[in-house]
Structure 1
């Protein structure tokens, strides 16, 4: 997977967020994927889907996420990306500094298809 492919996958994943489509969002994750956020741990595609559906029905309704890869490394069937971004709520054009995050993504390839195996983020400041 090249840098361009990683960026493309992230763009498609975040388009599903902008569409508030929890099913499409979760489909980018492996069956056993993990997501670790401050105060949150979700394991498995179903749990990730459930978490995002609740968010899209509540505090994330109408939001979109932005993430700019800072570093992408590919080693065989594994890729690791470090990105910087955050969540934009309705009416926002940029992520306020207090809500900026740094994230680590682990992508894996199985059967020629790439998916998110693990995602974690923390405050950037």
Structure 2
């Protein structure tokens, strides 16, 4: 087996991008909107059915309300399907994601969402620039 100089860099990017998803999920489970939005770029956008949140403050405010209300006690799972580096500092990520209710072990298939994420490095740190979610069965 041979190795190439590019292989470790790709692995480093992959690991760092995956860390964003671990930390966002950890903050969600804690119901911590500030820690959650710390992984979003200042001008990030979130698009999901019926909602468009523009900027870190709108995202933080919406999540604080949701964590205090309907998302209280839930956790978020993201099964990463693909990470593609568009440039060395921009990654396009596709996930199958779902919100898991308190007491629920795993989400049902119909609760899954197809999510596209754009992440970019800011001063060496990967942040979420854009999030777009759609029901998994939608075409």
Return the index of the structure with the highest Cα Rg: 2
Q: Residue 117 of structure 2: which of 94, 98, 105 is its match?
A: 105
Structure 1 position 27 matched with structure 2 position 42: no
Return the TM-score normalized by structure 1.
0.96
Query: Could you tell me how far apart the structure 1 residues matched to 2:19 and 2:125 are?
Result: 13
**SS of corresponding position for 2:62:** helix
Q: Residue 86 of structure 1: which of 98, 119, 122 is its match?
A: 98
Deviation per CA, 1:6-38: give whole Å up to 9, x if none: 111110111000000000001100100000011
Return the TM-score normalized by structure 2.
0.87
Deviation per CA, 1:72-107: give whole Å up to 9, x if none: 011221011000020001111111222111100100
Question: What 5-or-longer segments of structure 2 have no aligned partner?
Answer: 1-11
| Number of the residue aligned with 2:79 | 68
**SS of corresponding position for 1:3:** helix
Query: Could you tell me how far apart the structure 2 residues matched to 1:20 and 1:104 are?
Result: 23
Structure 1 position 2 matched with structure 2 position 10: no
Q: Residue 54 of structure 2: which of 35, 43, 54 is its match?
A: 43
CA RMSD, 1 decimal: 0.9
